[in-house]
Structure 1
Amino acid sequence: MTILHVAELAGATFAQALDAAPRAFALLITPSRFEVTTVSAVHPSETEDVYEARLFGERAELRWLATSGGHAVFLTEDRDELPSFFTPLAPVVATGVCDGQYLLWGRGAGEAREGWTTLATERIGSIRVPAEVEQGGYAAVKTREYIVQDPEHGNSYIAEERLLAFARSAVLKLERP
């Protein structure tokens, strides 16, 4: 059994959310761009147009959305990681977890530098990601899904998912008989 601890901060500004964020990766969404960066590289003064953010690492994830004055949710398996100024919510008691990944668009378009690689595809363009990927290789976002069982009906379902890290990946090759 795995317990996912959850806490929220209603009325949170992006700067407040950033103060509580795990010190790893950041996905920032604005009306005009999608940015992949590290939490330490994010400066609140340069993020006025961010309306959604996912700040994550292996131990925790913080999600922030600019609705109703801002809302932040913090997820972690370690209760001690919860920010003290957030309000605890009911934990997710998972009967199992499933680690997975989301394959990212594009292929490595050059040499990895300082742990970052540019992924590119003609259809989408290019984006830098914090993973060392060889020329022509693939990258993914690692995830963990939390599976719970409905107490009334007994059906299992994925109650929550957390982003963990970026990593090199391989495309699955399906073989036909």
Structure 2
Amino acid sequence: MELGHGRDLPSVITALLHGHIDAAFGRVHAPLPAGLTHRLVRLEPVDAVLHADHPLAEVPAIRPAQLSDGLLWTPGALHRLDFLHRFATAFGVHRHAEGPNLGLDRLLADLAADPRRFTLLPADLPLPPHPKIRPVPLIDPTPLYAWSLLWRGDGGHPLLGSLLSAFVREAERNRWLDYDPARDWLPESRDT
């Protein structure tokens, strides 16, 4: 297995369709082209990641609506980041700023440059120590990022079935697909 990364869902779809890759992980937020299929494998909670001087940095948990006066910092244009865009719309976050996607260290450095900034990152992501950055859980509701395994529908790689089975087992064991609409938030799916 060779690991790689795609910039966004369209680039991953292109790589799959051209046979450059056999499978990919991502958030499917639009209908897939003919010939591709996917299966949801993980609903991952996200945390707010804030500057240490942000007014909410020391609270034990944040409701998403409490971030409405904040400045959402994004690694790229917000309109290209579907989950963050939908979060901002759903919870009334009207101000955002963006920088280039140059990795986690750069994202954290950019957050540390302005105490008004926050972003969202996976709750399970180990953050490198940074004196000016604080992750805080989001609750009531907890936003969940939906990860899917994507592949070509023509059967693809011979080990694809084993990979999918491993995800099914881990999802059951770790309750990766638990969802309670009274407690959690998922962006609504698009029909277009």
TM-score with structure 2 length normalisation?
0.24
Question: Larger % of helix: which?
Answer: 2
Higher relative contact order (CA 8 A, sep 6+): 2
TM-score with structure 1 length normalisation?
0.25
